[in-house]
């Protein structure tokens, strides 16, 4: 039997609970609203997104803890 799940609009994350899926979406690394590296065009495309740590920022921004400060100041839409 298939199980109904809610899928994040921005990544492959799924959840059986709507509330949890909705909470995830708000803080999803791939949600452009959060202005994180994964949705930023200053983020070098080398490599594969699973290895985000090896990505380089073209603006040389520090690439962590944006969740604490409301996103990267150099974030640019692709």
Residue 11 engages Zn ion in binding (rule: CB under 5 A): yes
- When binding is defined by CB under 5 A, the residue of 6, 13, 32, 56 that contacts Zn ion is 13
Q: H helices within 1-78, ranges in order?
A: 18-27, 66-69
Residue 32 engages Zn ion in binding (rule: CB under 5 A): no
Residue 28 engages Zn ion in binding (rule: CB under 5 A): yes
Between 6 and 13, CB nearer to Zn ion: 13
Long-range contacts of 5-11 (CB under 8 A, 24+ apart): 10/39
Rounded CA-CA distance 27/5 in Å is 18
Site for Zn ion, rule CB under 5 A: 8, 10-11, 13, 28
């Amino acid at each position: 039997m298939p199980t109904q799940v809610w899928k994040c609009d921005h990544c492959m994350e799924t959840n059986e609970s709507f509330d949890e899926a909705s909470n995830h979406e708000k803080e999803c690394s791939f949600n452009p609203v959060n202005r994180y590296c994964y949705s930023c065009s200053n983020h070098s495309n080398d490599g594969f997104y699973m290895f985000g740590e090896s990505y380089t920022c073209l603006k040389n921004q520090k690439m962590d803890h944006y969740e604490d400060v409301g996103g990267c100041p150099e974030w640019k839409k692709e």
